[in-house]
């Protein structure tokens, strides 16, 4: 039993310590709002010398109620968000806060001796002071406080629920975006795995034949292939690279292809300096260049010896 009491006391203490500024601001704002609802009636009794005390009573009462309900609402609000008893806990907390606020008000006002605006209005009309039935007045005041406070708490809870829903939705969208990027990277890696081995195999076959023919260009072809591999292999372990590094990879690839074809390529590249540090997915330009070279070769064959086509690649766009 003592352990359960200690846990509840710890929960109360931690919930009060976790008070956020926006929660305090909301409850104080509601207190000021409810205080201003009937504050305009003060103009009717401003001929009475005690009207400042009545105005202070009018503004202090809802603020006092708001603060008391805030401290009874906090432990209930820190309970499980998805619990089916959450609404009941919040309702009970508001009811307890209303009762405590009424008890505190009944003890505080006689000491301050502040009249209400209604008291000054009856005094102005010459009526006798209102003497309600104590227990009936207590129940009525508690219910009135409970209803108005419940509306404020319900509004705040709905706002917080919408915020939590929006936060979860944004997290899901970020996760989906990350998964889409990973899927694109996986497809690029799969495309590279399909294209790069065939290119390396064909290049090695050409170099081997060049050495067999004692071709003077064979060492240069081998050097170009080595430079290309030095640029390409580190890209396999990178998740994000810049356009500048991709351009270096493409240039080394085109140098190897030019050595194999022993002539000028129908493809040129130009890169704007301001685009160089832009991040791009790895191995993005190489498959595009291979497709453009194949298309240029096909068009050249269709023209049958006519003027070959030339493809220009500028900042990743083909013209």
For residues 157 and 51, membership in a common domain is answered with: yes
Helix, strand counts (H, E) of the chain? 9, 5
Listing DSSP states for 44-71 in one string gives GGTTSTTHHHHHHHHHHHHHHHHHHHHH
Which of 176, 204, 232 is where one domain is finished? 176
CB of 101 closer than 8 Å to CB of 64: yes
pLDDT at 264: 61
Q: Give percent above pLDDT 70 in the chain.
A: 81
Residue 319: pLDDT over 50: no
State how far the Cα of 319 lies from the Cα of 310, in Å rounded to an integer.
9
In a domain, 192, yes or no: no
- Asked if 32 and 20 touch (Cβ cutoff 8 Å), the reply is no
The verdict on residue 50 lying in a domain is yes
- Whether 255 is in a domain gets the answer yes
Is residue 142, in this structure, part of any structural domain at all? yes
Instruction: Judge whether residue 147 has pLDDT over 50.
Output: yes
Q: State the residue range of the domain holding 119.
A: 2-176
10: in domain:
yes
pLDDT tens sequence across 69-100: 998 988 888 887 777 788 888 889 999 998 99
pLDDT at 305: 53
> How many folded domains does the chain comprise?
2
215 vs 207: CA distance, rounded Å: 9
In a domain, 210, yes or no: no
Reported as a pLDDT band with limits 50, 70 and 90, residue 170 is very high
Least confident piece of the model among 51-65, 100-114, 202-216, 257-271: 257-271
SS3 at position 267: strand
Residues 29 and 123 in one domain: yes
197 domain-assigned: no
Is 190 part of any domain?
Answer: no
Same domain, 143 and 290: no
For residue 129, the 8-state DSSP code is P
For tokens 């766009």, the residue is: 317
Q: Is the CB of residue 115 less than 8 Å from the CB of residue 129?
A: no
- Show which of 144, 176, 208 is a domain's final residue: 176
pLDDT digits (tens, 9 = 90+) for 10-35: 878 888 888 888 888 988 888 888 88
Same domain, 142 and 280: no
| pLDDT tens-digit readout, 231-241 | 776 665 565 67
Shared domain for 126 and 241, answered yes or no, is no
pLDDT of residue 8: 79
């Amino acid at each position: 039993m003592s352990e359960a009491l200690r846990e509840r006391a710890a929960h109360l203490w931690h919930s009060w310590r976790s008070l956020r500024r926006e929660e305090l601001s909301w409850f104080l704002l509601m207190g000021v709002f409810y205080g201003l609802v009937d504050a305009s009636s003060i103009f009717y009794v401003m001929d009475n010398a005690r009207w400042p005390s009545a105005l202070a009573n009018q503004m202090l009462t809802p603020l006092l109620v708001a603060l008391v309900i805030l401290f009874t609402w906090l432990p209930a609000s820190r309970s499980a968000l998805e619990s089916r008893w959450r609404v009941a806990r919040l309702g009970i907390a508001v009811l307890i806060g209303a009762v405590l606020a009424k008890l505190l008000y009944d003890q505080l006002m006689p000491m301050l001796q502040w009249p209400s605006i209604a008291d000054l209005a009856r005094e102005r009309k010459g009526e006798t002071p209102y003497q309600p039935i104590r227990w009936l007045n207590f129940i009525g005041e508690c219910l009135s406080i409970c209803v108005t406070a419940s509306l404020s708490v319900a509004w705040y809870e709905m706002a917080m629920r919408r915020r939590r829903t929006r936060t979860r939705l944004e997290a899901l969208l970020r996760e989906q975006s990350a998964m889409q990027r990973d899927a694109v990277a996986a497809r690029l890696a799969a495309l590279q795995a399909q294209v790069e081995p065939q290119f390396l195999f064909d290049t090695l076959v050409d170099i081997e034949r060049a050495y067999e023919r004692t071709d003077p260009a064979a060492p240069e072809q081998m050097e170009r292939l080595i430079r290309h591999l030095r640029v390409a292999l580190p890209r396999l372990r990178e998740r994000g690279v810049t356009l500048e590094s991709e351009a270096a990879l493409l240039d080394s690839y085109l140098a190897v292809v030019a050595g194999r074809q022993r002539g000028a390529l129908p493809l040129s590249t130009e890169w704007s300096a301001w685009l160089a540090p832009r991040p791009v997915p790895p191995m993005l330009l190489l498959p595009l260049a291979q497709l453009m070279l194949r298309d240029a070769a096909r068009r050249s064959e269709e023209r049958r010896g006519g003027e070959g086509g030339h493809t220009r690649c500028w900042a990743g766009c083909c013209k």
